[in-house]
Structure 1
Amino acid sequence: MRTTIDIPEELVREAMKLTHLKTKTDVIKEGLQTLIRKEKLKNLKNYKGAIDLTIDLNTIRKR
């Protein structure tokens, strides 16, 4: 998908330098993937303590 967006050049240059990515497209893709991963992890943390994961290995072995 092609989209025209206004991103500060210095921000893109710094991201390319830090990530060692060669193209602006790769930097944008990596940034979006990282943001998605971060948000999914944050959503998973909402379930902490809500699910009982008590595991009895002896019961599992008997199956």
Structure 2
Amino acid sequence: MRTNIVIDDKLLEEAMKLSNIKSKKELVNTALREFVENLKRKNIKELKGKIKFKDDYDYKSMRIGV
């Protein structure tokens, strides 16, 4: 999708230096991908303590090579 946006030049420059990414397009795509992945991880963390396991559930038995 083609979009025109105004981006803080100093922030863009700093992000490009820190990431060694050379194009603005690649930088924005990388930033959006990492943003989405971060939100997904956050949502998974919210499940902590909310999942009920059977009393006889043995997570170690599902490991390979154990």
- TM-score for both structures, normalised by structure 1: 0.80
Partner of 2:64: none
| Counterpart AA for 1:10 | K
- CA RMSD of the aligned region, Å? 1.5
Return the structure number with greater helix share. Answer: 1
| Counterpart AA for 1:29 | N
Instruction: Name structure 2 gaps, 5 residues minimum.
Output: 62-66
Which string of whole-angstrom CA distances, capped at 9 and with x for unpartnered residues, describes residues 2-51 of structure 1? 10000011111110000000100011011101110110000001111122
Partner of 1:17: 17
Partner of 1:60: none
- Mapped to 2, the partners of 1:36 and 1:46 lie a distance apart of 16
Moved over 2 A (4+): none
- TM-score for both structures, normalised by structure 2: 0.77
Q: How does 1:51-62 map to 2 (within 5 A)?
A: 51=51, 52=53, 54-55=57-58, 57=61
| Counterpart AA for 2:40 | K
Q: Does 1:36 align with 2:36?
A: yes
